Homo-oligomer: A and B are copies of this chain.
């Protein structure tokens, strides 16, 4: 499969870093970004000079690969917006943090003539925007692919991510969403709730230990991206929140009852689980 033009729709941290990484590792590719507004155009043009397009149809009609690097719902919307223009045979990828809703939308909205390969590079950041992007952003991280390993287009996508320094893991969309709910979506829900529950006045900031900062770093994560992640993985997330609440309640009940042995047992179990990670 000969790739000449790559289009990236969504040029924030993930999409911007992908553009820079592709230009570094595949100098023959013609890498284009999309900017919806004049303001975004100016911002993105600094990083992809002369390679920013404001017309979606024009951007994708001759693109051999199209990456959607947007929040989940925006990806689904842009599948619909681009469906009529995508080039037959093009490979279409997304970089979203939940995969079942995207896979369903791909089946529903994308033309049969394009090849969809769902991807989730596990290297998000609480920072956002092309200003924080870099060509080595993907280096050393894991990329989940939800498409079948044996398909020709999957192999092309694997090669591309591997060239950017990623390790590939094949996980079906449904299982991906179950696992990432616990490993990532629940921790984000907890971190957002922790900073909302505990007031820190400026005069007490010196009393905040490093562990607080580690626990709340991800509470900076963007509302647009995370609202969509929570809603598109609702069932798994609510199940994991319930499990977590039950575990915390068990600890609280033991503290309230003054059950020293039980609390020790709970913490030792946590220590033991930690060791296996």
B contact residues around A216 at 8 Å (CB): 274, 277
Residue of A169, A188, A260, A271 most packed against chain B (CB within 10 A): A271
The answer to the question of A21 belonging to the interface, with a C-beta cut-off of 8 Å to chain B, is no
C-alpha gap A241/B253 in the complex (Å): 11
9-residue interface stretch from A57-65, A80-88, A206-214: A206-214
Contact across chains for B263 and A207 when beta carbons are under 8 A apart: no
As for how many copies of this chain the complex holds, the number is 2
Residue of B nearest to A73 (CB): B260
Most B-side CB within 10 Å, residue of A212, A213, A221, A227 = A227
**CB-CB contacts of A215-239 with B at 8 A, as 1s and 0s?**
1111111111011001100100110
Q: Is the CB of A167 within 8 A of B268?
A: no
- Whether A255 is near chain B, meaning CB under 8 Å from some CB there, is yes
Can you list 12 contacts pairing A with B, beta carbon distance less than 8 Å?
A144-B207, A183-B208, A183-B209, A188-B211, A193-B270, A200-B273, A200-B276, A220-B271, A220-B274, A221-B267, A227-B263, A234-B258
